[in-house]
Amino acid sequence: MSVEDVHEVVSRIYEDVSSQSLERGDVLINTLHAIQDHYGNFIPIEAAEALKEVTGTPLSRIYEVLTFYTMFATHKRGKHVIRVCKSLPCHVTGGQAVIDSLKYRLEIDFGETTEDGLFTLEETSCLGLCGVSPVMMINDEAYGNLTPERVSEIIDEIVSRERSESL
């Protein structure tokens, strides 16, 4: 990943996001989301630096924003980022067992990534799906009515899908 390549990518993304905006400039957060999607679940520092060049925004300001919002990551994360809700409605409907089963099955704690780079486990605040609690999101997919068994099934499904895709 050369500096020039990163610069090109970031420049393109920024232009793309800006063109869809009514107010040019100040599309920082939308741009960061697009950059994160491109690099797969994280924003490398090279991209942040490129963004500084492209927009003229100081790097400190970019980092201020990057580190404040929980959905942005500055370090590499797994291909599938699991965000399990730990707010009250999920808690009182069996959320504890779901969290336990995730940690047990993946053998990682919150903030960690599995060795094969497939999964990162994170805790999140309420996802607004309380009607089907307990809930988790894996990247953009939502899974509800979770039980430890269901969690196992979902992880199995993803693992076998990844395996067949890599063949």
Partner 1 sequence: MAKIKSLEELMKIKENAMKGLKMRDSGKRGKVIVAMGTCGIAAGAKDTLRAIVDSLDEKGVDDVSVVQSGCFGLCDVEPTIEVHLEGAEPIIYGHVTPAQAKRIVEQHIVGGKVVGDLIVKRGEL
Partner 2 sequence: MPVVENTVLICAGGACISAGEKSVKSVFEETLKKYSLDGVVRVVETGCMGACDLGPILVIYPEGVFYQKITAESAARIVEEHILKGRVVEELLYKGDSGEMKEKPQEELPFFTEQVKIATRNLGVIDPLSIDEYIARDGYFALHKVLFEIGPDDVVEILKKSELKGRGGAGFPTWMKWDLTKKAKGETKYIICNADEGDPGAFMDRAVLEGDPHTIVEAMTIAARVVGAQKGFVYVRAEYPLAIERLTHAMKTAREYGFLGESILGTDFSFDLEIRIGAGAFVCGEETALINSIEGRRGIPRVKPPFPASKGLWEKPTLLNNVETYANIPPIIINGGEWFSQYGVEGSRGTKVFALAGNVKNTGLVEVPMGITLRKLIYEIGGGVPGGKKLKAIQTGGPSGGCIPLELIDTPITYDNMKKLGTIIGSGGMIVMDEDSCMVDVAKYFLEFTVEESCGQCTPCRDGTRRMLEILEKITEGEGSMNDLQLLKDLGENIMATSLCGLGQTAPQPVISTMRYFWDEYEAHVKQGKCPAKKCKTLMRVVIDKEKCVGCTACARVCPVDAISGSVRKPHEIDPEICTRCGSCLAVCRFGAISKVSP
Tokens of 79: 């291909």
Question: Least distance from C-beta 131 to partner 1, angstroms?
Answer: 2
Q: How many whole angstroms separate alpha carbon 127 and alpha carbon 61?
A: 28
Of 67-106, binders to partner 2 (CB under 8 A) are 68-72, 87-89, 91-94, 96-98, 100-101, 104
Rule CB under 8 A: say whether 15 interacts with partner 2: no
Sign of CA pseudo-dihedral 10, 49, 62, 138? positive
Which listed residue (3, 25, 132, 139) binds partner 1 by CB under 8 A? 132
**Cβ atoms of 21 and 27 closer than 8 Å:** yes
Assign 31 to helix, strand or coil: helix
Q: How many whole angstroms separate alpha carbon 51 and alpha carbon 54?
A: 5
Sheet of strand 141-143, all strands in order from the earlier edge strand to the far edge: 119-124, 80-85, 136-138, 141-143
Rule CB under 8 A: say whether 56 interacts with partner 2: no
Site string for partner 1, 102-131 (x = CB under 8 A): --------------------------xxxx
Q: How many whole angstroms separate alpha carbon 159 and alpha carbon 153?
A: 10
From the list partner 1, partner 2, none, partner contacted by residue 144 (C-beta under 5 to 8 A by kind) = partner 1
- 80-85 vs 119-124, strand pairing mode: parallel
- What is the distance of C-alpha 81 from the center of its chain? 5
Rule CB under 8 A: say whether 96 interacts with partner 1: no
Rule CB under 8 A: say whether 18 interacts with partner 2: no
From the list partner 2, partner 1, none, partner contacted by residue 15 (C-beta under 5 to 8 A by kind) = none
Residues that bind partner 1 (CB under 8 A): 128-132, 135, 141-145
Residues that bind partner 2 (CB under 8 A): 20-23, 25-30, 32-33, 57, 61, 64-65, 68-72, 87-89, 91-94, 96-98, 100-101, 104, 124-133, 137, 140, 147-149, 152, 156
